[in-house]
Structure 1
Amino acid sequence: MTATRSLSFKLYPSPAQAAALARKHLMLKDLWNAALEERIGAWRHSQTRVSRSDQEKALKEIRLGLEGWCGLVHTHEAQVVLKRLDLAFQAFFRRLRAGETPGFPRFKSAERFRGWGYKEHGNGFRVEMRDGGRHGHATLFGIGRMRMRGIARTPGRVLKADVTRTVHGWMLNVVVETGCAERAPAEGQAVGLDWGVSTFVTLAHEDGAFEELPNPRHWDLEAEDLKAEQRRLSAAARARKISQRALRKHRRALARRHAKIAARRKDFLHKTSARIVGRHRLIATEALAVRNMTGSARGTAEAPGRNVAQKAGLNRSILDTAPAGFLNMLRYKAEEAGAEFFEAKTRELKPSQRCPDCGAVRKKTLAERHHDCDCGCRLGRDEAAARVLLNWGLEESRRRQNAETSNPAGTVGDQAAA
């Protein structure tokens, strides 16, 4: 059984290579903007749509006509940029049909253009990892061979890669095909997991114990300081009391601080998910619709919303915990460790409203932090929800085992062949 994993390495180019990377970055940024302008102009003047294949066919003329392009920009790099623009248009039309905020594709400055990609190892890029996946060298078309640093926990066959420019320098993100089950086998009790904001997760164990992991609130710890610094910087820029060079320097410093917050959040999520998976053979939680949870309460001009500022603050707190990323980490780590992972449909199970003892459903407001049922069950709201998820997960596990017992592997295929 194989799986794909993403590995991240930091590139260490020489001064000449760094200058070449910057030139390539600007050329591909200009390609994005030119391709977007072509699509807009064609529709504005003749109501015709320019397809991705039409733009890819023009790449040969672009390579010959633009000075400095040939020998620095690989065809696959340009094709990936055009593919990403086409995907942006597809997403725009999909949102338009669904009645959502469309979000038309934007022209990009050098700061907003993150980077480019490669479709196939050996075409435009090559990665040489050391034994065990620690560090190595990367070769990029038009740039040359350079050192890279990073640790690949699951090295494998390199499929494709992306080059991105961050506040920390140039990064190479490599997708590899690797064998699964690289993690130590999961052992221990089954657990029900309820995610939250006031408490990051509440764990209900099979033996009746429960555990709460506090929310570290990475953003809140530095939010006021960052906002004040941003206001001072904006005021100085409007009053022209700061040079453009100093302005760029301060912006990079702010970006680094934000990147550090993101890195601390990611580190916490990885360590927490690894700890939970390593201690439990079965994990049951609920599927989270983060987009619905963080929707704006602003409303419309005809029907304005209520408590808009409070909902915006709640949305920031929700996104600060990165629930979608956390569940994704739990999912693939459970797969690697051989643990059972179940996600309940919230609208069907209603874990926050259901009693874990008798199964009765009673609607609670968000202000109600305790579960008090007529059957005599009295628990904290989060613990009760976690126990509902645990009961449901154990039942799903038994149902799956019964199905495998009654229909062992190969039976269905043998019957079909017969």
Structure 2
Amino acid sequence: MPTTRTISFRLYPSRAQIALLEAKHRMLRDLWNAALEERIGAWARGVRIGRSDQEKSLPAIRADVGGWRGLVHTHEAQLVLKRLDLAFQAFFRRLAAGQRPGFPRFRSADRFRGWGYKEHGNGFRVEMREGWRHGRVRLFGVGEMRMRGLARTPGRILKADVVRDVRGWQLSVVVETDCAVRAPATGPAIGLDWGVAEFATIAQETEAGPRFEAVANPRHLDAETEALRERQRGLSALARSRKVSRGALRKRRRALARRHAKVAARRKDFLHQLTARIAGRHRLIATETLTVRNMTASARGTLEAPGRNVAQKAGLNRSILDAAPAAFLNMLRYKAAEAGSEFLEADTRRLKPSQRCPDCGAVRKKALSVRRHDCDACGCSHGRDEAAALTLLRWGLAEVAARIDAPDLGPPGNGHPAGTVGVSDAQAA
């Protein structure tokens, strides 16, 4: 079944091309800000302006703005206006739902990431080398330049985005690919419990009983915390100084941003390698749905009802976000689809994998500080994360068994039929 994937390449423009890219970036950022200002002014006058109205002004802008013609493609400008329109749609949708609305903002040079193209061959053209490793791209008004990167899932190029970050210029290419070309994974079924103490605990059924594997949490941010704090303090002190130049301040900001970018790159590389290994080795992956927003909610409370252990909860929130659970599950989800693996996510509130016994299904509430599971009803004893992973595995086996007559995804363990903790048990909890 065809699906879309995004592939990122790093661009290597010449000095002249960098100047052209910066000029294009500035013009499109000015277009965003001018279109936003026009909408705000029209709203104040009681006039409603939509995307189509603003797109009709593009020919006049092209004729009046010096340097626009020959540098800014029509699709680039249209996508800027489309994204502004989507920002307004999201604002009104959140406003109607009673959420924090987040009104669209004016963009500085650092906050305007880049622009996009709607169709390959119309404003941009990519030529890949053999094996889809590196290549060249031609951008409207800029010319041809080298790009480096490797496409793990080659396909038909649909569209692209040009993005500027602290490391330079990037090209994100969207391709249509067929995941069915890869051989499906044939390894045993697993249950996976995500955590902070251990990044992941994996449970697998064997003839001798359940087997567990713990994936250590690399804690990428912790390793750089002191260095980042020291650089941030130095930057703050420099910003307060009256003798510092703007160039020196900008240089220190970019150095700090590059340090953060390296941490993010190491985190992303770890997640890609781990999810590729898991998805490529197992034909069933059972885990739980993670609601990161609820997991990282502040414990500060209100003036009337202040929270407790606020500093400890803030530290836990940093550790959770450093592990990037949402990105981890997203990568695992699409890589499982590419590998032909079954990927199942249990409803955490219904299944309660951290509270449920994987052998007898009994539910007993445990505080987060309790790191072992000892069941009084059946005598089952495992680590807390191991019990949760085993519960998820048996839930996943039961889910598959409910759909097919003769599942063959792994032997039972501990004399306990695979999938005893099933759908009805989860619903009854």
TM-score between both structures, scaled by the size of structure 2: 0.91
1:282-321 to 2 correspondence within 5 Å? 282-321=284-323
The answer as to 2:137 corresponding to 1:138 is yes
Larger displacement relative to structure 2 (382-391 or 93-102): 93-102
Map 1:225-304 to 2 at 5 A: 225-304=227-306
Query: Match for residue 394 of structure 2?
Result: 391
Q: 1:328 aligns with which of 327, 330, 346?
A: 330
Residue aligned with 1:146, SS: strand
Deviations 1:307-334 (A, max 9, x none): 3322222111111111111111111111
Give the match's secondary structure for 1:277: helix
1:154 and 1:182 in contact (8 A); partners too: no
Secondary structure of the residue aligned to 2:193 is strand
Q: Secondary structure at the match of 2:108?
A: coil
Cα offset, 1:63, TM superposition: 1.0
Q: How does 1:14-413 map to 2 (within 5 A)?
A: 14-44=14-44, 46-207=45-206, 208-374=210-376, 375-402=378-405
What TM-score comes out, normalization by structure 1 length?
0.93
CA offset digits 1:156-184 (Å, max 9, x no partner): 11100000011221110000001114545
**Which amino acid in 2 is paired with 1:278?**
G
CA distance in 1, matches of 2:200, 2:239: 42
More displaced, 65-74 or 308-317?
A: 308-317
SS at match of 1:299: coil
Deviation at 1:126, TM superposition (A): 0.8
Structure 1 pair 304–53 and aligned structure 2 pair: CA distance change class (3 A):
farther
Q: Distance in 2 between matches of 1:10 and 1:77?
A: 20
Q: CA deviation at 1:337?
A: 1.3
Is the alpha carbon distance of 1:117 and 1:360 closer, same or farther for their aligned partners in structure 2, counting shifts above 3 Å? same
Cα 1:403–1:120 change in 2 (3 A) is: farther
For 1:370 and 1:49, the matched residues in 2 are separated by 60
Give the stretch that moved more between structures: 367-376 or 69-78.
Answer: 367-376
Change (3 A) 1:294 1:183: farther
**Within 1, Cα distance between the matches of 2:78 and 2:307?**
44
DSSP 3-state at the match of 2:402: helix
**In the TM superposition, what whole-angstrom CA distance separates every residue of 1:65-91 from its partner, at most 9, and x where no partner exists?**
111111111111011111111111122
Letter of the structure 2 residue corresponding to residue 243 of structure 1:
S
SS at match of 1:367: coil
| Residue type at the aligned position of 1:356 | P
Residue 124 (structure 1) shift: 0.8
Q: Distance in 1 between matches of 2:86 and 2:307?
A: 33
Query: Which amino acid is 1:393 matched to?
Result: G
Q: CA deviation at 1:62?
A: 1.0
SS at structure 2 position matched to 1:123: coil
- The Cα shift of 1:403 comes to 10
Q: CA RMSD in A?
A: 1.6
Q: Distance in 2 between the 1:270 and 1:210 partners? A: 22
For 1:147 and 1:260, the matched residues in 2 are separated by: 23
Distance 1:192 1:256 in 2: 37
After superposition, the Cα gap between the structure-2 partners of 1:47 and 1:365, relative to the gap in structure 1 and judged at 3 Å, is farther
SS in 1 for 2:264: helix
- Look up the SS of the partner of 1:320 in the other structure: helix
Deviations 1:355-401 (A, max 9, x none): 10111111222111111212211211111110110000111111222
Shift of 1:265: 0.5
Q: Is the 8 A contact 1:76 1:118 kept in 2?
A: yes
Query: How far apart are the structure 2 equivalents of 1:395 and 1:249?
Result: 57
Shift of 1:270: 0.9
Q: How many residues align?
A: 403
Offset of residue 240 of structure 1: 2.3
Structure 1 residues 54 and 297, CA gap change in structure 2 (3 angstroms): farther
Aligned to 2:3: 3
Paired with 1:403 and 1:80, the residues of 2 have a C-alpha distance of 51
Flag structure 2 segments of 5+ consecutive residues without an equivalent: 408-429
| Unmatched runs of 5 consecutive residues or more in structure 1 | 405-418
Q: Is the 8 A contact 1:203 1:386 kept in 2?
A: yes
Q: Which stretch of the first structure deviates more once superposed, 28-37 or 93-102?
A: 93-102
User: Matched residues, percent identical?
Assistant: 73
Paired amino acid for 2:39: R
The DSSP-based 3-state class of the residue aligned with 2:301 is coil
Q: Does structure 2 conserve the Cα–Cα contact (< 8 Å) formed by 1:182 and 1:337? A: no
Range moving further from structure 2, 392-401 or 214-223: 392-401
Describe the superposition over 1:119-142 as per-residue Cα deviations: whole angstroms up to 9, x where unpaired. 111111111111211111111111
Amino acid at match of 1:23: A
